[in-house]
Amino acid sequence: MGQPRPASFLPSRDGFPFTNSWPSEPAVSVATTPFGRVGIGNAARGLCGGMVFAALDFWHAGCAPPAARPAPGDPLFRFIVRRLVQSWHIPAGVARYYYWMTLPDHDASPRLGAAARLGRRGLAARTIEVQWPRVRAQIDAGEPAALGVVTVASADPLQLGHNHQVLAYAYELAGTQVTLRVYDPNAGPADDIYLQFDTAAPHALFTHTVNIGWPVRGFFLTRYSPATPPGNVRPPR
């Protein structure tokens, strides 16, 4: 297998040294979505998007993230919750997750007309043919890529919380097989977490070591803009 490239962000150094496990409150409930009020983060169910964005914020600031898990009400906890909500890019981001949840894993049958096939591209093809080149270009430019990971196949908006967010920071190529290294808040500061797929087999399943109880159906690049993290951080690395 080829060498990872590049790896300017490393979970063991730049990720939070604690996992995505939180008290059962507060619930994060957002009303301004296409589906009305949607709970996108009882903290006990995880603040993955907030941790991804916040870790990236500390990385941009040149600071190591704090070692101690913040308690509810602490400035860092409030910051992570705020970044969680921002990572969903409401309302368009929520609608995107939902739309991808309703799509098939693979392209529509070739027996359908061209227009129908275009509208029903599967998640595998959308991920490998469209999203992966964007993610690769961003990593090659030295910028980690925040990813929205779609795990469930459902038209029920209450299932939105089962999707996940990770941060891609490096990749390895072995022929047409891609191993995408990711920071997974559920796994903590582990450098061995990955998403794997074959660009020559866009109908194959994704394999992964992400710490979730669901399959990975596909992923897309999430828009990120740096924010200033709260104070009381360790000295720059």
Place of tokens 């994060």: 28
Q: What is the pLDDT of residue 69?
A: 93
Q: Are 211 and 184 in contact (CB under 8 A)?
A: yes
Q: What is the pLDDT of residue 143?
A: 96
Question: How many angstroms separate the CA atoms of 129 and 123, rounded?
Answer: 10
Place of tokens 């916040």: 54
Question: How many angstroms separate the CA atoms of 31 and 127, rounded?
Answer: 29
Closest by CA position to 18, among listed 232, 212, 188, 234: 188
Per-residue pLDDT 10s for the chain (237 aa) are 455 445 589 999 999 999 998 876 545 655 555 555 555 544 445 799 999 999 999 999 999 999 999 998 899 999 999 999 999 998 899 999 999 999 999 886 555 444 444 456 899 999 999 999 999 999 999 999 999 999 999 999 989 889 999 999 999 999 999 999 999 999 999 999 999 999 998 677 899 999 998 999 999 999 999 999 997 455 444
Q: What is the pLDDT of residue 42?
A: 47
CB-based burial of residue 18 (10 Å sphere; 0-12 exposed, 13-18 middle, 19+ buried)? middle
Q: What is the pLDDT of residue 236?
A: 45
Read off the tokens for 164: 């996940």
The predicted model scores a pTM of: 0.86
Count how many Cα atoms sit within 13 Å of the Cα of residue 67 in the half-sphere of its side chain. 3
